[in-house]
Each structure stands twice: as structure tokens, then as C-alpha cells.
Chain A
Amino acid sequence: MGIIKASKLIYEYIKRDEEGNPEGVNRAVDQVDIDIQPGQFVAILGHNGSGKSTLAKHMNALLLPTEGTIWVGDKDTSLEDNLWDVRRTAGMVFQNPDNQIIGTVVEEDVGFGPENLAVPTQEIWKRVDRSLEAVGMTAYRYHSPNKLSGGQKQRVAIAGIMAMKPRCIVLDEPTAMLDPNGRKEVIRTVRELNRAEGITVILITHYMEEVIEADRVYVMDGGRVVMEGTPKEVFARTEELKGYRLDVPQVTELAWELKKAGLPLTDGILTIDDFVDEILAIHQKSGK
């Protein structure tokens, strides 16, 4: 069994009118089955309102299933006795960095999590050192978090989660409010944690460039998982992605357009290098 596994997961909430009377039931997550293996880098894509954030909030028991089950590190999240273990297994990073930082100094903020886990002081400092190093923020340890850029703040938030030593980090649109530089910083950091530390990463996003190096991609629409596979497999279905209000990188789009116009290109080209190689091969064959 994987580190996070959901079986027929359903989440419903009741819509109410102004007087608080129930108006109807909304199903935000609908019969989702997922199985994420330890050490994987998994991306969950979907447009606004597709249910991806609701699904993410089940991964550390911020929401509990209406029907079905989700296990985090073998523990059923719906049992209250498991809550502590579930949250220690899966740490969460949210969209807005300003809502996640509480310390007045960077290193204090990072130490907040392990302190709450009653980790001995000596060990807390070790973890703070290591976490700040892992996200490349050691130089800022004595700085005030509110003077940092958005990307730096998100890296501090990630360090704060790292210091609790979770086996898995769930990032819910961590780059949506950042500029292109901040976005790159955060994604580079997350990828590095996955590679160097072997932490399982679940990245929720609607930026396609961020999922190219994922091991596995899930696409959500209307609360369901509608596509699943490697990035190459998923991006090869360009037309279908557009139907789910998503986009592909320009290189994939260009390859797809050229293929439609009759050029013999492979499906799901994700990198400029692959594209250039194929175009040059076609050019040589055409003998011009």
C-alpha cells in the first residue's frame, strides 16, 4: 500500500441560503481512487473549483471524507486516534505565504513545528539548521520573515514543515501568488527535497510547467480524477486537457499544432531539446 491511498473518496458539503436553510448538496470530491508510492513526486492538476484543494485537505485530515476512506501512512484519517500520526506523516504548505508564518525571526518560525511536537531543544536546533539549509535560506535565519520576498517566505514555510520530519509534503498551489522567480525558487526547492531527502511530494497546481518532471500526474475535473499517467502520457492528450480548462506548455502546443498540420512528430513533447531534435530530423529527411 502506498503512503497515501484513497478509495472511493467522496466529500460533500451542504449549501445554505442566507437564513442558513439547506439549499442543496455539493459534491466536491467524487469517487476518487489514488495510490501514491513513497518517494514519488506527484502532481495534481485541475482548474479552479475542480476539487483538487478539497482532496489535498483530506491528506492531513483537515477535512474528513463523507464516504470512502483515505489512509495516510496506513492510518485511516477518519479515526480521531490517528489524527496525530496522520499530521506527522503529511505536512501541508498553502497558497498564501503570509498566512503561514507566525515567528518574528525566520529561525523561530521554523522551530515552531518541532517545538509543538515536544522535540528536545538541542534536536530542534539541529532540525532548524538542516531545514533552512535544505531550502537554501540559512543566510536569512536571523531576518524578519515579513521583509522576505514571496518565494523566500514560501521556502521558510516549507522549512517549517521539514523540521517536523514528515514523510510526505502536500503543497496546495504554493506558487499561485508568486512572480516567475519566486515560482522557480519554490519548485526547485521542492524537487530537491524529493530527490535528495526522498520526501514524497504532492504538488497541487495549475501551472503546467511545474509538473513536467513529476513521476505521475493526476488531472481532476468536477471532483473526479479524469486523467492519470506520466507527464508525457497526459500532455500527449492536448485536446482533452484543453477541454478540462487546462493548458500545455508552448513547446507541447506548437508540436501538437505542427502534428495536426501533417508533420510526423511524436505525442506529448515536453522539452525544447526533444522538439528541436525531431524538427531537425524531419528537416534533414525532407532533404532541404
Chain B
Amino acid sequence: MIELKNINYTYGGGTTQQIHALKDVSLQIPDGQFIGLIGHTGSGKSTLIQHLNGLVKATSGDILYNGQSIYAEGFSMKGLRSKVGLVFQYPEHQLFETDVFTDVCFGPKNLGLDAEEIRARAREALDLVGLDESYDKVSPFELSGGQKRRVAIAGVLAMKPDVLILDEPTAGLDPKGRDEILDQVAKLHRERGITVVLVSHSMEDVAKYVDRIIVMNHGQVAFDGVPKEVFRHYQELETMGLAAPQVTYIVQALRAKGFPIGEDITTVEEAKAAILQVVGGKR
């Protein structure tokens, strides 16, 4: 469980360009949740996730990891970073080893584990992202964009984190590559019970996968709830430079014309079922 208490973060202090990036943010991230973090560029979402593993230190406020303040004297930041894994945007830019397997070994090696454990973890992490032994000796630079990204994610998984934070893991990927990554993340969450925080611009993706959405706007939490609750505020989301999934607008347009359909629909499957219930179709 990660707990943020009244986090403020300012930078450029003392200059005319001072920016208050996070304003009094309080949040709880219980174990095992799958959270979507959304907000337009500059809303503070990237700054927020960098606080979660101590890469950025809050100007004021406190962060508790399993009840312990990460800012307390003697708290092991190294330990925290092995438990809260952060996958940056375009993580494939951080691949550097000569082959896939060695690259994934880099993290666990730095944890000071023995050689056998390192190899076991690297193999397991690669299996988790769907890359079998045939990729072990391939240079990471010969892989496709989606595959490279999976190697980078495996590098973080090999640290066996309890919390996995992904900053726009699908940016620049084609639709199939996007589905592959997100399906694998969802599977990890389901089978391993790890906590996932997914930063995304795509409302369609968020609606399909997560159990909770946190919306950031101007450095503050604007909405926090299950997708249905949050997307009910689609008009406010638009004023924040965001939008609900397209299917939400379809449902609203149908309702406006008097078609009897409930408003809490956020996925294509739900819309299909609801429409068929009204107009039939073959069973």
C-alpha cells in the first residue's frame, strides 16, 4: 500500500518561472489495484508517478510505503525502487546490452543476487512478456518497436516489483502492439496480483482494463473512482482537455434521441449487449 499525504511539489522556486506541479495531493494506492492515471500534458501525472518510487522528492507532505515514511532517515530508497518498478515513456531507448537476455539481467544483477537467481528471474520475466528462448541471444536493436518495449518491461519485472508503474507504455505502437502490451500487463495483474498504475492518454484503453481511474488536472486530483463514475463527468473531462471513450458519446447521442439505454456504458461489449436488449437481433 502506498499512501500520499498532502504532497506539494514546486520547481524553479525563487525564479519568475516557478511552477507548482502538484498541489496538496492525497491518495491511497492499496495492494492489487489496477489504476489508470489520466490527465493532459502538463497536468502533473508524470511528476506524480516519479514521487511514488522516490525519484522526485516532494517539497512538502509525506509518502508512506507499507506504513513507513519513505522520507524517514534510514529508509532504503534502493529497496523501494526494487519494489516499485517504473517503466518510463519510450523505455526501449534505455536498452543497451548486446542481447535480450543480458539486458533483462541488468536489474537483478544490481540487486546483488546470485547468478542462478538472476538467470531464473530474467527467464521468468521474459516469459511473462511473451518472449521465449529464441529471443535470448538476439540484439535488442533488431526487434520491432513493440518487442523492444516488452524487453524493457521485462527488465523491470525481473526486479520482482510489487507495484508496476507504466508511463504511456503504448505511445507510438500500432493497435496490435498496443493490445499485446496491455493484455500482458492485465494478465500480470490478474495472475500475480501486482498493483499496476497505467498512465495513458487513451480513454478507450483505460475503460477496457482498469478498476479505478485517477484524473489529474492542474496538479490536483480532479476525479477518482471506478471508470463508470468518472466517465459520467465526460463534459467536465472535455474542459480538462480529455474525453470519454467514443462509445460513451454514442450512448449519450442515443439517449438524447429517446432510445432507452442506460448511461453507464464505457465499452463496446456493454453497448452491444444493451442495444440488443432493446431491439433484439438473432440469439
Interface residues of A (CB under 8 A from B): 47-49, 95, 149-150, 176-177, 179-182, 206, 245-247, 249-251, 253-254, 257-258, 261-263, 272-273, 275-276, 279-280, 282-283, 286, 288
Contact = CB atoms under 8 A, between A and B. Distances in A.
B72 interface: no
A96 B268 CA distance: 32
A262 B173 contact: no
Nearest to B176: A245
Contacts of B176: 47, 245-246
B40 A263 contact: no
B250 A272 contact: yes
A272 B279 contact: no
Contacts of A253: 268
Contact of A272 (B172, B204, B253, B276): B253
B73 interface: no
Interface residues of B, number: 37
A177 to B, nearest CB: 7
Nearest to B41: A179
Given A272-B250, A276-B254, A288-B278, A254 B146 contact: no
B247 A250 contact: yes
A261 B281 contact: yes
25 contacts: A47-B174, A150-B41, A176-B171, A180-B243, A181-B40, A245-B175, A245-B176, A246-B174, A247-B175, A250-B246, A251-B246, A251-B247, A254-B250, A254-B272, A258-B275, A258-B276, A261-B272, A263-B275, A263-B276, A272-B246, A272-B250, A276-B250, A276-B257, A279-B254, A288-B279
Nearest to A282: B279
Interface string B10-29: 00000000000000000000
Interface in B232-280: 241-243, 245-247, 249-250, 253-254, 257, 259, 268, 271-272, 275-276, 278-280
Contacts of A254: 247, 250, 268, 271-272, 275
Interface string B185-221: 0000000000000000100100000000000000000
B130 interface: no
A245 B254 contact: no
A278 to B, nearest CB: 11
Contacts of B41: 149-150, 179, 181-182
B174 A280 contact: no
Contacts, number: 103
B69 interface: no
B177 interface: yes
Contact of A48 (B174, B254, B282): B174
B68 interface: no
Given A48-B173, A257-B272, A283 B246 contact: no
Given A263-B279, A276-B250, A48 B259 contact: no
Nearest to A285: B279
Given A47-B177, A272-B253, 10 more contacts: A47-B176, A48-B144, A48-B177, A177-B171, A254-B250, A254-B268, A254-B271, A262-B282, A275-B253, A288-B279
Interface in B136-184: 144-146, 171-177
A262 B275 CA distance: 12
B242 A180 contact: yes
B268 A261 contact: no
Contacts of A95: 172
A263 B280 CA distance: 8
Given A250-B246, A272-B253, A280 B259 contact: yes
A223 to B, nearest CB: 15
